[in-house]
Structure 1
Amino acid sequence: MSPAPALDKPTVGLAALFATSGVIHMVRPQVFESIIPKPLAGYRLELVYASGVAEIACAAGLLHPATRKAAGLASAALLVAVFPANVQMSASQGRRAQRKGTPQAQAFFAGTLARLPLQWPLIRTALRAAGR
């Protein structure tokens, strides 16, 4: 069995991002409930909590050498799994920006769009932490 990849700054950054987001999922779940894709709407709160727990577990796993490989793979899978929620957020914010027409609503919408392609470098970082 090969040793875990070294703990580098990108992996620490991904762990910090997951830890922060995971805690927010736990203490302010309402922030995330609206971005659950419509087919899963009956399980909004449960999915928000589950994804928060998963993010915290991935964060902790990325930091420890014995669990880094598995956590890297789990982190990449989690990022892929939550991508539809990020798309839903952009679609919802796009409609809101059209209705409101305010610069703030339009800026927030632009931010949600800019966030979508940023998932790929995060996935790459997770896979690199897994030694892939």
Structure 2
Amino acid sequence: MIRTAFRWLLAFFYGYAGWQHLANPDFFMAIMPPWVPQPDFVVWLTGIAELLGAAALVQPVSKPLMRAAGVGLALYALCVWPANIHHFAMDMARDDGGLGLGYHIPRMIAQPIIIWLALWASEATNWPFARHTN
């Protein structure tokens, strides 16, 4: 039951983020690292990936699809981590400190938790709650 709740929470989070990527791409373009090729296409593609991942995470028909969505969203969160780090560095370099450490430090800490949560909530892993058998 807890996994189901977290799966729906993640689906909402990723669905909303995906919608924001498509509806308000300028925010994401502003924090995109300069080394990313075709940043406008990447923002659009990441929005689509988030929407599809969110839908697959909560579909009731296929456990393999749900697990694949969890793995995909975990990999996605890992791949966007450099953009989060870039945003952190950019913000802290501003005269006003941007969003500040109160925003960026929890965001950096949350990223590995979100990665694990996508895997656990989708039943792609049971770690660290797996029962050991001898």
TM range (shorter): 0.7 to 0.9
Uncovered stretches (5+) of structure 1, i.e. residues with no partner = none
Q: CA deviation at 1:9?
A: 1.1
| Stretches (4+) displaced over 3 A | none
Residue pair 1:36, 1:85 contacting (<8 A) in 2 also? yes
Counterpart check, 1:109 vs 2:107:
no
Alpha-carbon distance in structure 1 between the residues aligned to 2:89 and 2:2: 38
Distance 1:117 1:6, change over 3 A: closer
Counterpart check, 1:54 vs 2:55:
no
Structure holding more helix per residue: 1
Letter of the aligned partner of 2:124 in structure 1? G
RMSD: 1.8
Counterpart check, 1:100 vs 2:96:
yes
Alpha-carbon distance in structure 2 between the residues aligned to 1:130 and 1:28: 32
Alignment of 1:51-130 (within 5 A): 51-65=46-60, 66=62, 67-96=65-94, 99-100=95-96, 105=98, 108-110=99-101, 111-128=103-120, 129-130=122-123
Deviations 1:40-84 (A, max 9, x none): 1x4111111111000001100100141211101101110001000
Residue pair 1:21, 1:52 contacting (<8 A) in 2 also? yes
SS of the residue corresponding to residue 100 of structure 1 reads coil
Alpha-carbon distance in structure 2 between the residues aligned to 1:127 and 1:76: 6
Uncovered stretches (5+) of structure 2, i.e. residues with no partner = 126-134
* Residue identity (%): 27
Counterpart check, 1:9 vs 2:5:
yes
Q: CA deviation at 1:113?
A: 2.5
Aligned length: 120
Q: CA deviation at 1:30?
A: 0.2
Q: CA deviation at 1:119?
A: 0.9
